[in-house]
């Protein structure tokens, strides 16, 4: 995790630490420090940086423990650590007030600005309320991590956690089994509603005390532009990519109709059924490759099969190490050892991409302290995250890696956070954040764009690739199912939270508003009624984990800008989508230079240094997917595309309603 912002942004456990990667925040030990008399602003910031650095490892240690051993004791310690951190943060922010309007260096002014945004979980000053907030935050994250769906009774009782329920959506094409897995997971969030409602009251109180209108406005204040401007920027960027998403949506709907029949392939208003998209939140449709592959015979891009074959080889190797009769415990250990071996080798492969750019190897401690796979003996928060434990080289990732494509690319994503952490570790702690949080999320994903069929072939994950237009469309579709399907999801989560924080979405409408936004942006809908007895937002990690989400939307635009610039830096001349800068030290140098800047200057300047432009812009997304967009238009010709967002939400009709004739009406 990252420091403050990490602290700030990550959200977890508290959301306390929240920074860049999906990480948490730190806490000080003992009472909050006080300001010495006559201290200048520059001295103040130097002291805050030192105190922050000193308290940080204790906070991250408590959070790491509570995420990797979920139990009452670890949660108590994590909540207490957050309590101390947030108390200290409030005290620093209070102390900073006396420098308002005073002379100070630009760096100090920026550091004070960042200090005020240093948490995604602004806490009330009232100590009782602050303690209540950290307890609720820790509890909600624990509920998510240990969430379990059980069916049957007695001998027939079966209990499954998120990973197993996701496997059903990934692998089963049985309509009812998928619906059961989807509904089952969403039961775990029902009990969070009350806690979340209280959580919103408390962070809003904290945000108001800090001078913000509400916590959402505070979140929108971290972009070196006004909160109104960044909201408008996200609308503008969405406007650029929306036509591409609509084409993909139309195509996917046609294929789902063919697979499940027109009465099941859509729900009311031409929307896609939430449980049939291969992903619990419909944010990545890559698992539907078997349904959506444009040209199944034009060469395979199935890297999951290759990874599973690696697992079987590792399993056989472990078996061979323990010949003779084997007990069930022996077999479980063999399985565990094989899973660990494959997860480590997948991570080594990701590391190899970074070192091919001239970046350093991960430290030995990374390999010994990282959580690679789901432990067998306890609950953990499986949602992937990257941690900077001490701002001095103790970096880790926490995942429950399985041998499949999604987890493989997520490792590359997480290492992007880790390389960012280590690149800016020399900066003062308050600058140890991404240029903005979307930058942090975009680093590893920029590398993922370089995982072209050729690269995958070079690492033996796919066979010889055809040089045909059909193979090209397949490759583009594979990337679009991960990247384009994500865009409206990346936007809607914080549209919901901004509304919750500013009061335009009331607790009595939490679920209704959620599904209205899912309908409006994604064009997806539940197949059965989801009234206010449910709390479906809580079934997505970042809501109970309090991790702001706009960062991922921005990252999905920025990563194409970074990728294009790094391809240029590598001297690449061909079509954008064929570029891989694997092994190119010049690209690596440019990338590293950006990472090393952290948050020490406005992100616009950092962006300009890499790309030559100061604005986020989706034209590189459109350039990349131009061949696919043409192909989709042809495929969709003569079909009725678009959806009626108003046709459903909490209580969809059983029978499909004909989709509107004209362009998508997204409400």
Q: What residues line the site for Zn ion (CB under 5 A)?
A: 21, 441
* Residue 547 C-beta: closest distance to ligand X8Z, Å: 7
Minimum CB distance to ligand X8Z smaller for 410 or for 422: 410
For ligand X8Z, which residue has the nearest CB? 22
* Residue 109 C-beta: closest distance to ligand X8Z, Å: 29
Separation between Cα atoms, residue 338 and residue 350, nearest integer Å: 19
Query: CA Rg, the chain, in Å?
Result: 24
Give which of Zn ion, ligand X8Z, none residue 67 binds (C-beta under 5 to 8 Å, depending on kind): none
* Residue 36 C-beta: closest distance to ligand X8Z, Å: 38
What is the DSSP-derived secondary structure letter of residue 644? B
Strand partners, 572: none
One DSSP character per residue, 430-467 reads: GG-S-SSHHHHHHHHHHHHHT--HHHHHHTTSS-PPP-
Separation between Cα atoms, residue 538 and residue 525, nearest integer Å: 17
Consecutive H or E run containing 74:
helix 72-96
Give which of Zn ion, ligand X8Z, none residue 44 binds (C-beta under 5 to 8 Å, depending on kind): none
Taking CB under 6 A as the criterion, the residue among 410, 425, 511, 636 binding ligand X8Z is 410
One DSSP character per residue, 128-162 reads: HHHHHHHHHHHHHHHHHHT-EEEES-GGG-EEEEH
Site for ligand X8Z in 543-602 (CB under 6 A): 552
Cα–Cα distances in Å, from 291 out to 278, 285, 287, 296?
10, 10, 9, 10
Minimum CB distance to Zn ion smaller for 139 or for 556: 556
Give which of ligand X8Z, Zn ion, none residue 339 binds (C-beta under 5 to 8 Å, depending on kind): none
Give which of ligand X8Z, Zn ion, none residue 526 binds (C-beta under 5 to 8 Å, depending on kind): none
The answer to whether the annotation marks 325 as part of a ligand binding site is no
Taking CB under 6 A as the criterion, the residue among 4, 9, 15, 22 binding ligand X8Z is 22
SS3 302: coil
The answer to whether the annotation marks 417 as part of a ligand binding site is yes
Give which of Zn ion, ligand X8Z, none residue 384 binds (C-beta under 5 to 8 Å, depending on kind): ligand X8Z
Phi–psi pair at 47, nearest 5 degrees = -70, -45
Catalytic residue among 414, 436, 516, 556: 414
Q: Tokens at residue 247, please?
A: 């084409």
* 385 lies in the binding site for ligand X8Z (CB under 6 A): yes
Separation between Cα atoms, residue 87 and residue 467, nearest integer Å: 60
* 433 lies in the binding site for ligand X8Z (CB under 6 A): no
* Residue 439 C-beta: closest distance to Zn ion, Å: 11
Give which of Zn ion, ligand X8Z, none residue 95 binds (C-beta under 5 to 8 Å, depending on kind): none
Minimum CB distance to Zn ion smaller for 394 or for 441: 441
* Residue 422 C-beta: closest distance to ligand X8Z, Å: 17
Q: How many other β-carbons are positioned within 10 Å of the β-carbon of residue 615?
A: 12
- Told to judge if 542 belongs to the known catalytic residues of this protein, a careful annotator would answer yes
Minimum CB distance to Zn ion smaller for 1 or for 202: 1
Minimum CB distance to ligand X8Z smaller for 354 or for 387: 387
Separation between Cα atoms, residue 564 and residue 446, nearest integer Å: 9
Q: How many other β-carbons are positioned within 10 Å of the β-carbon of residue 446?
A: 24
List the end-to-end C-alpha distance of the chain, in Å, as a whole number. 38
One DSSP character per residue, 519-562 reads: IIII-EE-SS---TT--GGGGSTTTTTT---HHHHHHHHHHHHH
The answer to whether the annotation marks 440 as part of a ligand binding site is no
* 282 lies in the binding site for ligand X8Z (CB under 6 A): no
* 21 lies in the binding site for ligand X8Z (CB under 6 A): yes
Give the per-residue contact string, 442-481, with ligand X8Z (x = CB under 6 A; - = no): ----------------------------------------
SS3 239: helix
- Told to judge if 113 belongs to the known catalytic residues of this protein, a careful annotator would answer no
Give which of ligand X8Z, Zn ion, none residue 205 binds (C-beta under 5 to 8 Å, depending on kind): none
Minimum CB distance to ligand X8Z smaller for 283 or for 666: 283
Site for ligand X8Z in 105-134 (CB under 6 A): none
Burial group, residue 198, by CB count within 10 angstroms (0-12, 13-18, 19+)? middle
Phi–psi pair at 161, nearest 5 degrees = -105, 180
Catalytic residue among 249, 542, 556, 577: 542
Phi–psi pair at 520, nearest 5 degrees = -60, -50
| Placement of tokens 């970042």 in the chain | 542
Query: Which residues are CB-contacts of 325 (< 8 A; sequence separation ≥ 6)?
Result: none
The answer to whether the annotation marks 266 as part of a ligand binding site is no
Minimum CB distance to ligand X8Z smaller for 379 or for 441: 441
Minimum CB distance to ligand X8Z smaller for 21 or for 147: 21
Phi-psi region of 133 (alpha: psi -120 to 50; beta: other; left: phi over 0): alpha
Number of shown-chain residues binding ligand X8Z (CB under 6 A) = 8
* Residue 385 C-beta: closest distance to ligand X8Z, Å: 6
Phi–psi pair at 160, nearest 5 degrees = -130, 145
* Residue 275 C-beta: closest distance to Zn ion, Å: 25
The answer to whether the annotation marks 246 as part of a ligand binding site is no
* 384 lies in the binding site for ligand X8Z (CB under 6 A): yes
Binding residues, as ranges, are 223, 413, 417, 441, 551
Binding residues for chloride, as ranges, are 223, 551
Write out the catalytic residue numbers.
414, 542
Binding residues for Zn(2+), as ranges, are 413, 417, 441
**Where do contacts with ligand X8Z occur on this chain (CB under 6 A)?**
21-22, 283, 384-385, 410, 413, 552
């Amino acid at each position: 995790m990252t420091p403050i912002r990490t602290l700030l942004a990550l959200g977890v456990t508290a959301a306390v630490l929240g920074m860049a990667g999906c990480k948490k925040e730190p806490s000080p030990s003992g009472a909050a420090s006080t300001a010495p008399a006559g201290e200048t602003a520059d001295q103040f910031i130097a002291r805050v940086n030192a105190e922050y650095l000193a308290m940080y490892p204790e906070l991250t240690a408590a959070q790491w423990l509570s995420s990797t051993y979920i139990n009452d004791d670890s949660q108590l310690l994590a909540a207490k650590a957050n309590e101390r951190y947030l108390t200290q943060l409030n005290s620093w922010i209070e102390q900073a007030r006396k420098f308002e309007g005073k002379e100070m260096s630009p760096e100090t002014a920026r550091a004070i600005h960042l200090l005020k945004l240093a948490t995604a979980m602004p806490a009330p000053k009232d100590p009782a309320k602050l303690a209540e907030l950290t307890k609720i935050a820790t509890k909600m994250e624990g509920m998510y991590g240990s969430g379990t769906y059980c069916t049957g009774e007695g001998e027939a009782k079966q209990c499954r956690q998120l990973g197993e329920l996701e496997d059903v959506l990934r692998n089963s094409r049985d309509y009812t089994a998928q619906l059961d897995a989807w509904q089952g997971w969403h039961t775990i969030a029902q009990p969070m509603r009350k806690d979340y409602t209280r959580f919103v009251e408390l962070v809003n109180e904290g945000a108001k005390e800090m001078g913000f209108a509400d916590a959402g406005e505070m979140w929108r204040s971290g972009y070196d532009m006004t909160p109104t401007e960044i909201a408008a920027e996200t609308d503008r960027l969405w406007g650029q990519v929306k036509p591409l998403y609509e084409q993909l949506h139309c195509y996917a709907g046609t294929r789902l109709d063919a697979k499940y029949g027109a009465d099941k392939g859509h729900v009311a208003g031409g929307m896609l059924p939430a449980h049939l998209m291969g992903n619990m939140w419909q944010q990545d449709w890559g698992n539907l490759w078997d349904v959506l592959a444009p040209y199944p015979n034009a060469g395979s891009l199935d890297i999951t099969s290759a990874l599973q074959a690696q697992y079987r080889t590792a399993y056989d190797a472990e078996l061979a190490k323990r010949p003779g009769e084997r007990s069930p415990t022996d077999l479980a250990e063999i399985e565990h050892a094989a899973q660990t071996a494959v997860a480590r080798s997948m991570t080594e492969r990701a590391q190899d991409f970074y070192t091919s750019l001239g970046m350093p190897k991960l430290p030995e401690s990374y390999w010994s302290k990282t959580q690679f796979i789901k432990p067998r003996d306890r609950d953990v928060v499986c949602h992937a995250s990257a941690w900077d434990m001490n701002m001095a080289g103790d970096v880790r990732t926490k995942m429950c890696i399985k041998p499949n494509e999604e987890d493989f690319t997520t490792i590359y994503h997480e290492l992007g956070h880790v390389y960012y952490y280590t690149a800016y570790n020399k900066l003062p702690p308050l600058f140890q954040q991404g240029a903005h949080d979307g930058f942090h999320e975009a680093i590893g994903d920029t590398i993922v764009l370089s995982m072209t069929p050729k690269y995958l072939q070079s690492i033996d994950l796919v066979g010889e690739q055809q040089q045909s237009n059909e193979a090209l469309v397949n490759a583009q579709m594979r990337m679009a199912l991960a990247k384009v399907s994500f865009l409206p999801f990346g936007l809607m989560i914080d549209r919901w939270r901004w509304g919750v924080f500013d009061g335009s979405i009331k607790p009595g409408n939490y679920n209704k508003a959620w599904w209205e936004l899912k309908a409006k942006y994604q064009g997806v809908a539940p197949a059965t009624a989801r009234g206010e007895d449910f709390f479906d937002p809580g079934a997505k990690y970042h809501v109970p984990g309090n991790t702001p989400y706009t960062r991922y939307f921005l990252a999905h635009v920025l990563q194409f800008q970074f990728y294009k610039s790094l391809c240029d830096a590598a001297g690449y001349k061909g079509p954008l989508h064929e570029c891989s800068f694997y092994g190119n030290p010049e690209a690596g140098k440019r990338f590293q230079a950006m990472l090393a800047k952290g948050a020490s200057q406005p992100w616009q300047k950092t962006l300009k240094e890499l790309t030559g432009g100061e604005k986020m812009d989706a034209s590189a997304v459109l350039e990349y997917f131009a061949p696919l967009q043409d192909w989709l238009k042809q495929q969709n010709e003569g079909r009725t595309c678009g959806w009626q967002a108003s046709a459903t939400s909490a209580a969809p009709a059983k029978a499909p309603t004909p989709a509107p004739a004209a362009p998508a009406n997204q409400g």
